[in-house]
Amino acid sequence: MLTEKAGSPEFAQNSSPALVLPLLLIVVCSFTLGACSHILPNSVASSQAESAISIQATLPAASMGKAYSAVLSVSGGTAPYSFAVDQGALPSGLALNRQTGNISGDPNRAGTFQFTILVTGSGGSSKPSGGPVPLSDSPTLSDSGTRAFTMVVGPCTTCADVQISPADAIVGAGGKVQFAATVANSSNSAVTWSANAGTISSSGLFVAPANTTAQTIQILATSVSQPAAKATATVTLTSSSPSVPRITTLSVPAASSGVPYTTSLIVSAGDAPYHWSLVSGSLPSGLKLNSATGVISGSSTQVGTSTFTVSVNDASSHTAQQILTLPVLSSSQCGQPYCSRTDFAVVQVPPAVPNVGNLTGANRVVTDPDFGSRIARVTDWNTDPELPASSRFFVSASSGGTNENLFNTDSTLLVLSSTGAAVYPFTFDPSSMHAARMYVSSYPASGGLRLPGGVAWSRVNPNLLYSFSGTAVESYDFTDRTNAPSPQAVFDFTSLAHCLPSGFQMTWSAKAGVSAGDTVFGMAFSSTGGQGTGTYAVAYKVGSGCSMLNTQTGKVTGDWGVDGTISIPDRWTIHSAKMSEDGNWMIVSSTNCTSSSCAIGPYFWQLGTSNVTACQAGEACGGHPTEGYSHWINNNNSPIGNEDIRSLSDISAFRSLTSILPPDLAAPLDQHPSWNNADPADSVPFLTTTWSPSRFFPAPWYNEILGVATDGSGKVWRFAHSFITSKSQIFSTLYGIGSVSQDGRYFLLSSDWMGTLGSQSGATTCTIGQDCRGDVFVVELK
């Protein structure tokens, strides 16, 4: 099994004193039921008993579709105060915080509600709520006050509106239709699908019944955030073979210059699988059409309007065509390559985090209220029903590392892990940000396909996934989305004389990765124990064979390059190994020094040669690293928040990337960078998540998802809160470990969502730091 030991975060030596900040009340949008409430100023007279405490006379208005939050203003008496509903009841869906006086929640029932609030100061005794209020001169309540309120919950005017495309379809027995749903008036675009005959997947793929009886089938899409909002579509099942396909996409959204773009073309009827093509005209430069999925994606700098004709062929050679127009608008005001905020404002995690559900909530899409980024929840309690209850939590990667290649080349497929190291492939729709486990029909008990060991996506083929298991590399081809693939052999590191030694018995292995062009594959091995005992770092180059470094003897052997002894005297055991995207360097981290002395590390081995260099004291190689095409980045925390970059061919020469730092950055602040590009210039930004145990932050960047420029500009983009409690018992969730997609458009993140995802036991509540679940989320980078 592939593992990577969870290391401790690096901190600066000096920590700042605690900083006490006032509570910032932030009202966020949350969509729930199909009725709107408006909390209006009192329509009847309010009563205020004579007392030492005075309470505000009215409450602000509220409406369904936005979370309500109002703090009662109190004067007089002796603080701290306690608050209680003394008579009547708050509107359904609202609650009163007894310590702060905050009335908050989502009203979910229309009507008129009357209630009385009792406030008791610390100078008087409290009384149980629900009984009569004594006169103000009562000796037991001399430090108290009451106020009567009337709230009216009115009808909804901005409820979610669900629409399905196509609205009707005609198919034959066993035919397929891909449906898409849009949700208006809601920040959560997720829907659940159902059909009264046939089957429909979580992504909207309908499969008609196999019988030949003509009938009409109803398709239902229900808003996840507002279950009262629904839409239906009709499928007419004919007794003949599947009808010819029909393109139901009549228009596509505009793109912005230089901004990542994606949209999906929808086909109705016909016989899957489909093949898409352009038959006339052309897409804007930088955009491409995926022939298998019908997804148009990319990034174009060509401002103007392009007209083109798309064609779709089904498995029965039937064809449909559609003329489309795609405008590309100027976005010169955007700070390329991203448009996210770059300011230094302090942004605390909102008191009411966006609602992604509790134990369940997969495919809920919310918007970060402070940064505007869409965030989709991928997993929940039901992602793998075969897992024991205590293990139903998921992470971006079981290794705990940020350098995992978890998205395919066009971000339409992804993989993630359970904490038991099982790997789960998912489809991913860049437009809706919905994900679904693959091959559910083949593996219905477990909800889809599971793979063992560590994996990495191909860097050239969007359907190819590589698995590093034992001493072998295998591949899975996901071109056929209906029938689960079988593993195909790529290479076994024991198959050639100059790879692993004869008779090698593996006890531990770890993948180093796959290079650009899928030309070099790297791994590390041990035959004597687990992680920390390995001494073999090996790379296989397609068509050339192996090159291997034995870190115990210092010997380099192989089928290509040189045989010899490394030039440094250091000998060590291996903790982990990573490979540069150009396939020329392996970065080998050590566990134990087995020679008289060793450098501080890590070690940089130029594959196929005996050239090994290591970081020395004073070369600022501390902190968590990530590798690019031919460069290496690490956060040495000198100063706090800074990142350094250096060429792998000259690790002693480095420069700071984040020299423009916000004021008041202070320890503890940890970072875990992720760079997953195959850009020869290493010019694209890398991503990083930050970690601090504080709930309130003295500066920006704390517990956020950041993008960092590598061009020397010092620019840092702020995409979203990570919504981590910083106290999770799960390493990846504790630090918000994540990985950026190959195209730089998405970030896969582990988070416990401020302890709102339920307990590992299956309970809806949990104790932070002990048993709160973690799940995987996708953040859209814009």
Phi, psi for 516 (deg, rounded to 5): -55, 140
Q: Where does the pLDDT of residue 41 fall: very low under 50, low under 70, confident under 90, or very high at 90 and above?
A: very low
Q: pLDDT, tens digit, for every residue of 211-233?
A: 767 788 889 999 888 887 888 88
Q: pLDDT, tens digit, for every residue of 474-487?
A: 999 999 988 999 99
Query: CA 341, 347, 348 angle in degrees (round to 5)?
Result: 150
pLDDT computed for residue 141 by the predictor: 43
Query: Are 89 and 135 contacting, i.e. CB atoms less than 8 angstroms apart?
Result: no
pLDDT computed for residue 167 by the predictor: 73
pLDDT computed for residue 240 by the predictor: 58
- By CB atoms closer than 10 A (0-12, 13-18, 19+), residue 679 is middle
583: its two tokens: 């396939």
Query: Are 163 and 246 contacting, i.e. CB atoms less than 8 angstroms apart?
Result: no
**pTM of the entire predicted model:** 0.61
722: its two tokens: 């990570």
Q: Is the pLDDT of residue 317 over 50?
A: yes
Mean pLDDT of 520-526: 96
Residue 204 Rama label (left phi>0; alpha psi -120 to 50; beta) = left
Going from the C-alpha of 319 to that of each of 307, 313, 389, the distances in angstroms are 20, 5, 48
CA separation for the pair 274, 317 (Å, rounded): 9
> Would the CATH topology of 53-153 be identical to that of 161-329?
yes
Mean pLDDT of 550-577: 95
Q: Provide the percentage of residues in the chain whose pLDDT is more than 90.
A: 47
Q: pLDDT, tens digit, for every residue of 371-414?
A: 888 999 999 999 998 888 888 889 987 776 778 899 999 999 99
Mean pLDDT across the chain: 83
Phi, psi for 690 (deg, rounded to 5): -115, 160
Rg (CA), the chain: 29
Q: Where does the pLDDT of residue 30 fall: very low under 50, low under 70, confident under 90, or very high at 90 and above?
A: very low
CA separation for the pair 658, 501 (Å, rounded): 45
Query: Are 466 and 455 contacting, i.e. CB atoms less than 8 angstroms apart?
Result: yes
CATH superfamily of 161-329: Immunoglobulins (2.60.40.10)
Of 93, 62, 75, which Cα lies nearest the Cα of 147?
75
Q: Where does the pLDDT of residue 532 fall: very low under 50, low under 70, confident under 90, or very high at 90 and above?
A: very high
CA separation for the pair 590, 588 (Å, rounded): 7
Q: How many residues does the chain have?
A: 782
Indicate the DSSP class of residue 694: -
CA separation for the pair 101, 85 (Å, rounded): 10
Q: pLDDT, tens digit, for every residue of 8-18?
A: 333 232 333 33
Mean pLDDT of 572-581: 95
The secondary structure of the chain in percent helix, strand, coil, rounded to multiples of 5, reads 0, 40, 60
Q: Where does the pLDDT of residue 239 fall: very low under 50, low under 70, confident under 90, or very high at 90 and above?
A: low
Could you name the CATH architecture of 53-153? Sandwich (2.60)
Q: Where does the pLDDT of residue 709 fall: very low under 50, low under 70, confident under 90, or very high at 90 and above?
A: very high
pLDDT computed for residue 330 by the predictor: 65
Q: pLDDT, tens digit, for every residue of 108-125?
A: 766 677 888 999 998 754
Domain residue ranges in the chain? 53-153, 161-329
647: its two tokens: 């060429």
